[in-house]
Structure 1
Amino acid sequence: MALVGAAGFYLFLYGFGSPVAATYALFSAVALAGLSRIPGTGPQRAATVLRLVPVCLLLVVVGTFLSVRTWSAVAGMLVIGFALAFAAVGGPRPAGAGPGLQLLYILPSFPPYDPHSLGARLIGTTAGLALLVLAERYLFPEPAPPSYRELAARAAGTAAHCARELAAPPYALSPDSDGRARAAGTGLRSLKVPEADRPAGPGVRDRALTHTGLAARTLLSRLSALHGPPDGTGEVLRGVARLAEHTADELAPRTGPRTAPGKAPGPGSGSGDAYGELARARARLAAAPAGPAAPAVLRRDAAALEVADAALTMATAASLAVGGRTAADRVLPGRFWYARTPAPLLWWHRIRGHAGRRSVFFQNAVRIALALAAARLIAGLDTLPHGFWAMLATLSLTRTTVGETWGTIRVALVGTFAGALLTAAVLTVVGPHTAVYAVILPVWMLFAFTVGPVRGVGWAQGLFTVLVAMVFAQLAPATWRLAGVRMLDVLIGSLIGGAFGLLAWPRGAHDELGRAVAGLLRRAAETVVATSASVAAGPVGEGAVAGRGYRSLRHALILAESAYAQFQSEPARFGAAVPRPAGPDWQAALMAGHHTLWGADRLTAPPAAPAPFAAALGPEPAEGLTGLGDRVAGRMLLVSAHLDPGGDGPPVPALRDPAYRGFAAEPPGAPRRYYAAVSWLDSLMTDLERVTAPEGGTR
């Protein structure tokens, strides 16, 4: 930042005599390298900035022409401010770049209204961004962490090893293998993956890679829980091992896919053969008559079928992640609904899913857009000198919770006051001798950009106050009064940010997470009841769940995951050095939602898909399954009422009633379909136990 900012500023100010271009070159670097928090290594950040160059230039053009009137500048700030903040729905990179893009619109939205200087503004912005891209790409190279695709490949390889171990004596995982499986599954959690490598975008490849990670985590979890002699499941486990090996090869970036690029798993390639073999082995096991088999054997068979389903899902999702839309030819709809959907429609799905007051992305966008518009209105009506400093303070100090916002403001005002005192002293002593500022500025830049982020917001504001004074003292004559103007602007911007932090969703994601997870569990309970009834009704009822209720559960899961992601970034109280107190295990609740979706999809496969459970349940198994589904759904509703901040649900008691457990009642003559459904319900009950367990934590 110091090198790029100083190089661009001095090149245009002293080399070409253009203070306008110099200002824009400097603040372009400050915007996208300082105010922005673009994740990733240097080359990754450089690629992101390069893609954003047209957007930056467009913002400068629009800001220049809308600044002619206060009302047009305020309207533009409201609309563009919301759009740039709401772009966070596209993933960590748009979210990280948002504040910097806001600054590049704020800078030209103030008088003087001078469209004739637009060329100099664009030249300065372009030069600053070009220097930033080169510096990010080539200076101070950083080691790249493993990508999510590599982590998924390792998880698939670990699953292959575990499946082979379970298929051979002693038919159990060794402690080392079990630890490796748990570590590989935990490594795919989003909080364990660097932001730049999280597949959080709305496109086919990102969605498929997310799907791959979820399937791999489910596969490893189910393999860890499998035990006992394989009997009839040995063929399935060997098929899982082979398919997982091919999936690991396909995902490994250096070895490349074994399948031809652009083809989903199918006959004619290594992974296709493995996929077909496992699908046939799963179908044979599912169609085998239960006969006189002991309930323990049927339970293990049901667990093996879940393992096979997770492996097949992982392989298909991995092919989509590698091949993109070209690999969607043989993918069935349902859980891979996004495979053939055009990219604009996928973006529309993402935007529509968050276009409501229950989305934390929507809440944050409304909060910052209103605060920036109010700051621009006050700056325009009161003709506040250097008014963009007030908007910059609003932008940089507003947080997602009112407590964190006011805590940040208190520290920032103290730092700004100290910086203003030092600025007044420097301007008084140095006076109009710009050569002194020109010599000191690069050193101060390096000091400010190094110490500020390390020491916190107070230091950052104080050091930046001195920095901007040195910059503007070279652009025009300045006196000690400039320090007072800076202090006034930061105070006004801070008060505006604090006011809107208080008025607009002051508790951030805390309450919204509880509401979202409570809604997720309510939707999951509806799906559990519908799925249990559908399975109990036999083949005629298949596919009944993959309708409106299925889509509402998926939408509830999206809102809960976004609220959980923001919740992780919000401290319990500003400046607290202690972790949050123990509370609900939100991650377990999210996994319960995923497991509900996957189980419902597997047990109620559409008629076009090869349904592995075709036998109808008898009266007694059907009644038992329906009752068990109702109990699991009731438990979900009880946990939901307990988590909802707007409800008055009682504490959730521990599960001591054996009737809640899936295999407590085993009706004689129950087919495999019954055991598969009960195994799914039993895993959901395990998830629910974790949600409210005393040792659970918010992380």
Structure 2
Amino acid sequence: MPATSLLGRLRRRDPGYAVLRRAARLTLVASVVFYGCRYGAGSSVLATYGLFGTIAAGAFAQLPGPAPQRARILVISLPAVWALIAAGSLLAWSTWAAAGGMLVIGFVVAFGGVGNPRLVGWASAFQLFYILASFPPYQPDTLPQRLGGVTLAIVLLAAAEVLLWPDPVPVSYRQRLADAADGVAAFLDTTARALTEPHPDHAGRDARRRRAYDMVGPLDLARNPPAWAPTAAGAQDRALRICAAALREVLAEADRLAADIPPEPIPDLAAARLLRVGADTTRAAGRSLVPGGAPVDLGGLDAVVGRAEAAVGAAVGQPPDVPRSCRDATALALADQVRVFAVGARLATGLRLDGVDAPPGLFDYARHNEWTLYRWQFRSHLAPRSAHLHSSLRLAVALAVARVAAGLLQLTHGFWVLLATLTVLRTSAADTRSALRPSVLGTVAGALVSGAVMLLVDLPIVYAVVLPVTLILAFGVGRLLGPVWQQALFTVLLTVVFAQLDPQGWRLAEARLVDVLLGAVIGVLAGVAIWPRGASHDLRHNAVHYLAASADAVEETVEAVLGGAPSPQRSIDRVRRQLVLLDSSYCQYHSERHDPHRQQVNWDAVLSAGHYVVPGVGSLLRRNPPGCLAGWPAAAALLRDAVARLRSAYDEVAEEVTHGRSSGPSPAPVTCADELERVRPLLGSVDPQAVRHLVEVDRWLAALADTLALARIRRETPGEPPGKP
């Protein structure tokens, strides 16, 4: 049966009925507001603004968070909505005045998403409020009715969000992070047991490894909806992104250590103690992210790390044990990343860093208030290369041109032109072209159906009766069936509404078609002519500079250890500045659509490479002070060779980032056995302490190369953990 097939298709596309629940809430609120204002109060103005206020806030706004949070955002936004409607109503006296207001408001509203990309979902609704009010007739005396209709709609919609079929709260990013921390901690515990127990459980360790990778994978921003991903400029969202990067590195270090477990376990191994306390701290930091969780205590981790570092410094006079030194170096690097994760968890829950020794570089922003952070974010994007600036100007110019065209052509329903422009225009030309076809095809189909119906039916009561049906079809069924259906059913809905507000017969469908085609043409021309590449170009540009800065910092750090250069602080500062720009441009890029058939850069891995460099340099130089390997030519030659290969890897990743295609296979990870073969010829009568310095620095470079390999463009191998080469 066709009906059964359609219901099955809808059920598969909306398994939790979230879309249909939202459509039902919108339908009920819109129907109550429209009927009450149009037929109860007898006011077309109240009905128009009440209905379109419901549609703008309920359908065009993509608000984040659970139902109470969305309701709170709706109510708090009312003053901004009033201001936009008032501005549009007062500027509607002139086409050029309204277009100038559209240019300014369009830019300000769009650029406001710089501080929090999740607000972009509310931006379309804000623009619609101004657009609707800025068209004739110029009737400033009706402003109270306009504001009253919108206020009634938004208040009822906010109440419906909480009281009527509220959506189940999806798993938040903080909860995902907490779950992933628990999975990683379990893998750390298993790896620690494998280092000390006589009969390690290899099958159990492999199962926990796979589970840890499966739980860390969903932390990628690309695998989270924009409304829930931590993409804002504020301290808590920044901390969550740093937490995710640190947890990936904890898992990667644990994986390296697991690969280097000796055939015979060694009791009382320092690496095992670091793993156990790292597991406890990771688990506690993850639980602190859950509402009601206790803040993590770093005292235990710091004590064990301090004893391990003291043991490293007390190794004078003992024969060098390269494999053990390698494992200790890996475990200390793991502990450093656990500490980054724990400090980030404190910030993510709103706590301050008072009395906490934060890793240098990554958390400097935490010393500033939210307004300062947002001000820096806005200021950094008022630059010629900013993708945020480009997309905001593009949208503002397109809407202003559409407003001028609608005014000069004296179109009866000119706001449909701007609505079509807003619907079609995206942040890149590719996305704009993708949105054009369904918009035009759906509008044509909807106009044909609407015109035919209005030729046959000329009774307003019929359209009043079918209004709820068209609402549920447009915002529920249409959204599930696809963009063409959604646009067609939305066209039918507008016909049903205006058949009651301003009856024009079949010419209403004709006007809708002409307006949408004009708006689509303007949107496409703006998308193609004005900075058509979107955020991807800005992101790639920032990533190349970021990778170059990271390579410079690594090279200067090694030269400092060899006694040939001062502290690399200036290079680290440059990495941090580039990291902020890269992080911000990636957050916008995350909100765009991308070709699924094109090879994509693993941007989370690119960001993680810098997250590993910035705190890693400070920890490395604390245990291996500048000049500790001076006067050992063989060590200098080995390390400079490793740095040269690592810089080539940075250059290769930068090349892939620039062109979006693979430049070759990823290098294989370096194990402690490989490192032993590299270091063995240098041992001789060298001081064991110098050998430990050499092993830790060389191991740090190898870990950097492994981390960088994750950023390479490649095809996933079936059966391997996501993102693990």
Q: What range describes the TM-score normalised by the shorter chain of this pair?
A: 0.7 to 0.9
Superposed CA deviations along residues 132-158 of structure 1, whole A, max 9, x for unmatched, are: 111122222332233222222223333
CA distance in 2, matches of 1:598, 1:287: 21
* CA positional deviation for 1:413: 2.0
* Residue number in structure 2 paired with 1:460: 486
Distance 1:43 1:195, change over 3 A: farther
* Residue number in structure 2 paired with 1:637: 651
* CA positional deviation for 1:323: 3.5
* CA positional deviation for 1:296: 1.4
Mapped pair 1:537 → 2:563: yes
SS in 2 for 1:619: coil
Distance 1:635 1:24, change over 3 A: same
Q: One-letter code of the match for 2:605?
A: A
SS in 2 for 1:552: helix
CA distance in 2, matches of 1:516, 1:540: 27
CA distance in 2, matches of 1:508, 1:477: 41
* CA positional deviation for 1:489: 0.7
Equivalent of residue 242 in structure 2, options 198, 207, 211: 211
* Residue number in structure 2 paired with 1:689: 709
CA distance in 2, matches of 1:163, 1:689: 22
* Residue number in structure 2 paired with 1:617: 629
Q: One-letter code of the match for 2:445?
A: A
CA distance in 2, matches of 1:6, 1:53: 21
Mapped pair 1:674 → 2:694: yes
Equivalent of residue 349 in structure 1, options 348, 354, 376: 376
Superposed CA deviations along residues 647-674 of structure 1, whole A, max 9, x for unmatched, are: xx99457659999x87764243435443
CA distance in 2, matches of 1:232, 1:314: 21
Superposed CA deviations along residues 593-630 of structure 1, whole A, max 9, x for unmatched, are: 332334234335xxxxxx33337223333453344223
SS in 2 for 1:83: helix
Superposed CA deviations along residues 157-210 of structure 1, whole A, max 9, x for unmatched, are: 333333333333455661122122212221322233444432222222222222
* Residue number in structure 2 paired with 1:576: none
* CA positional deviation for 1:497: 0.3
SS in 2 for 1:134: helix
**Aligned residues of 1:545 and 1:600 also touching (Cα < 8 A):** no
* Residue number in structure 1 paired with 2:531: 505
* CA positional deviation for 1:587: 4.1
Distance 1:350 1:289, change over 3 A: farther
RMSD: 3.0
Distance 1:535 1:85, change over 3 A: farther
* CA positional deviation for 1:464: 1.7
CA distance in 2, matches of 1:233, 1:477: 79
Distance 1:381 1:559, change over 3 A: same
SS in 1 for 2:364: coil
**Aligned residues of 2:323 and 2:676 also touching (Cα < 8 A):** no
* Residue number in structure 1 paired with 2:511: 485
**Aligned residues of 1:632 and 1:681 also touching (Cα < 8 A):** yes
Mapped pair 1:518 → 2:544: yes
CA distance in 2, matches of 1:557, 1:284: 37
TM-score, normalising length from structure 2? 0.84
Q: Which moved more, 1:679-688 or 1:13-22?
A: 679-688
Task: Trace 1:160-179 onto structure 2 (pairs within 5 A).
Answer: 160-171=185-196, 174-179=205-210
CA distance in 2, matches of 1:102, 1:693: 39
* CA positional deviation for 1:337: 0.7
Distance 1:695 1:476, change over 3 A: closer
CA distance in 2, matches of 1:562, 1:193: 12
CA distance in 1, matches of 2:456, 2:210: 65
CA distance in 2, matches of 1:619, 1:344: 50
Superposed CA deviations along residues 266-294 of structure 1, whole A, max 9, x for unmatched, are: xxxxx243244244234324534364222
Distance 1:274 1:67, change over 3 A: farther
Distance 1:279 1:62, change over 3 A: farther
* CA positional deviation for 1:538: 8.5
Equivalent of residue 379 in structure 1, options 402, 406, 410: 406
* CA positional deviation for 1:14: 1.6
* CA positional deviation for 1:218: 1.6
Equivalent of residue 233 in structure 2, options 195, 202, 216: 202
* Residue number in structure 2 paired with 1:311: 338
CA distance in 1, matches of 2:620, 2:663: 32
Task: Trace 1:440-455 onto structure 2 (pairs within 5 A).
Answer: 440-455=466-481
Structure 2: unaligned runs, 5 residues or longer: 1-25
Task: Trace 1:114-133 onto structure 2 (pairs within 5 A).
Answer: 114-133=139-158
Distance 1:462 1:353, change over 3 A: same
Mapped pair 1:189 → 2:190: no
CA distance in 1, matches of 2:588, 2:174: 25
Equivalent of residue 363 in structure 2, options 308, 319, 336: 336
Q: One-letter code of the match for 2:447?
A: A
Q: One-letter code of the match for 2:553?
A: T
Distance 1:278 1:564, change over 3 A: farther
* Residue number in structure 2 paired with 1:470: 496
Q: One-letter code of the match for 2:709?
A: E
TM-score, normalising length from structure 1? 0.87
What is the aligned residue count? 667
Q: One-letter code of the match for 1:242?
A: D
CA distance in 2, matches of 1:471, 1:101: 21
CA distance in 1, matches of 2:410, 2:659: 44
* Residue number in structure 1 paired with 2:128: 103
* CA positional deviation for 1:247: 1.8
Equivalent of residue 435 in structure 1, options 425, 448, 461: 461
Distance 1:637 1:484, change over 3 A: same
Q: Which moved more, 1:355-364 or 1:338-347?
A: 355-364
Distance 1:194 1:396, change over 3 A: closer
**Aligned residues of 1:49 and 1:133 also touching (Cα < 8 A):** yes
CA distance in 1, matches of 2:620, 2:61: 46
SS in 2 for 1:197: coil
Distance 1:82 1:643, change over 3 A: same
CA distance in 1, matches of 2:603, 2:310: 38
Equivalent of residue 246 in structure 1, options 284, 294, 319: 284
* Residue number in structure 1 paired with 2:441: 414
* Residue number in structure 2 paired with 1:268: none
Q: One-letter code of the match for 2:611?
A: H
CA distance in 1, matches of 2:180, 2:454: 60
Structure 1: unaligned runs, 5 residues or longer: 260-264, 266-270, 573-578, 605-610
* Residue number in structure 2 paired with 1:37: 62
* CA positional deviation for 1:588: 3.4
Q: One-letter code of the match for 1:527?
A: A
Equivalent of residue 174 in structure 2, options 149, 154, 173: 149
**Aligned residues of 2:117 and 2:588 also touching (Cα < 8 A):** no
Distance 1:641 1:494, change over 3 A: same
CA distance in 2, matches of 1:463, 1:312: 54
**Aligned residues of 1:278 and 1:308 also touching (Cα < 8 A):** no
CA distance in 2, matches of 1:663, 1:512: 42
Equivalent of residue 608 in structure 2, options 591, 602, 607: 591
**Aligned residues of 2:226 and 2:591 also touching (Cα < 8 A):** no
CA distance in 2, matches of 1:601, 1:76: 51
* Residue number in structure 1 paired with 2:98: 73
Distance 1:459 1:234, change over 3 A: closer
* Residue number in structure 1 paired with 2:13: none
Distance 1:248 1:474, change over 3 A: same
CA distance in 2, matches of 1:421, 1:82: 35
* CA positional deviation for 1:124: 0.9
CA distance in 2, matches of 1:52, 1:286: 58
Superposed CA deviations along residues 355-413 of structure 1, whole A, max 9, x for unmatched, are: 33444333322221111111011122222221100000000112333344234323322
CA distance in 2, matches of 1:586, 1:149: 20
